[in-house]
A and B are shown apart, each in its own frame.
Chain A
Amino acid sequence: AQSVSQHNHHVILSEAASLELGCNYSYGGTVNLFWYVQYPGQHLQLLLKYFSGDPLVKGIKGFEAEFIKSKFSFNLRKPSVQWSDTAEYFCAVNPNSGAGSYQLTFGKGTKLSVIP
């Protein structure tokens, strides 16, 4: 079965610092990749997604992620974080095995705390 690893459990940054959250997955086939964010007290929201094409994808709120197939990685980045980025971030993988492939496997999440 596939698994998703997020390397950092809790990241603490000052405002304007750059962010990179690691995500690695184990699955030999083609995958669809997602980053979700969960702000305090709110539900999961999609930040960005990768299906195919340009491996550098841009999402909402200035986030981007790069798919590196050879490294089985999909790291999330933001050049300058804001206090409002304080949230929990989840990487998720969907095996792209054709029609009817719906399920997501989530990483354990990374809590980001941004200090004003």
Chain B
Amino acid sequence: GAVVSQHPSWVICKSGTSVKIECRSLDFQATTMFWYRQFPKQSLMLMATSNEGSKATYEQGVEKDKFLINHASLTLSTLTVTSAHPEDSSFYICSAGSGVRSGRGEQFFGPGTRLTVL
């Protein structure tokens, strides 16, 4: 159990376009979802935390108008990279936690989305 999927797994887009990444918890309800960014050979950097039905909480330095997060249901969160630029190219990973599990920090990770902006 506790499977998290992401779609698409990779995307290439032109500079200036917007890209939407979906994160789904397949077999449990995720009250909290997290979005991370992973640079090559570096750790996961938390971008934002989203709770179902409320606005996302962004980490310092993350532009909320550029990285739009919507957590409309207990099984789906989306990250939209607006007006993407080459410096936004990265590996984006989502994770999800249930109301019980994530209260102890246990998160279940999606496979990630590789974004390349030309």
Chain A residues engaging chain B, CB cutoff 8 angstroms: 32, 34, 36, 42-46, 49, 51, 90, 92-94, 96, 99-109
Given contacts A100-B103, A102-B105, contact A43 B93 (CB under 8 A): yes
**Closest CB in chain B relative to A27 CB, distance in Å:** 12
Chain B residues engaging chain A, CB cutoff 8 angstroms: 32, 34, 42-44, 46, 49, 93, 95, 97, 102-112
Q: Which residues of A contact B42 (CB under 8 A)?
A: 108-109
Q: Which residues of B contact A109 (CB under 8 A)?
A: 42-43
Sample 6 A-B pairs with CB under 8 A, ordered by A number. A92-B105, A101-B104, A101-B105, A103-B105, A104-B46, A108-B43
Q: Which residues of A contact B95 (CB under 8 A)?
A: 44
The 5 A-B pairs of least Cβ separation, nearest first, read A94-B105, A44-B109, A43-B111, A108-B43, A106-B43
**Closest CB in chain B relative to A103 CB, distance in Å:** 7
Instruction: Kindly report which residue of chain B lies nearest to residue A109, judged by CB atoms.
Output: B43
Of the candidates B46, B106, B110, the one whose C-beta lies within 8 Å of that of A49 is B106
**Distance A44 CA – B105 CA, assembled complex (angstroms):** 15
B104 and A32 contact, CB distance less than 8 A: yes
Q: Which residues of B contact A99 (CB under 8 A)?
A: 103
**Closest CB in chain B relative to A46 CB, distance in Å:** 7
**Distance A44 CA – B36 CA, assembled complex (angstroms):** 12
Of the candidates A42, A104, A107, the one whose C-beta lies within 8 Å of that of B107 is A104
Of the candidates A92, A102, A105, the one whose C-beta lies within 8 Å of that of B97 is A102
**Distance A99 CA – B104 CA, assembled complex (angstroms):** 8
Q: Which residues of A contact B102 (CB under 8 A)?
A: 102
Q: Which residues of A contact B34 (CB under 8 A)?
A: 102-104
A43 and B32 contact, CB distance less than 8 A: no
**Closest CB in chain B relative to A66 CB, distance in Å:** 19
**Distance A71 CA – B72 CA, assembled complex (angstroms):** 42
Given contacts A96-B104, A107-B43, contact A102 B32 (CB under 8 A): yes
Q: Which residues of A contact B93 (CB under 8 A)?
A: 43-44
A34 and B111 contact, CB distance less than 8 A: no
**Distance A105 CA – B106 CA, assembled complex (angstroms):** 12
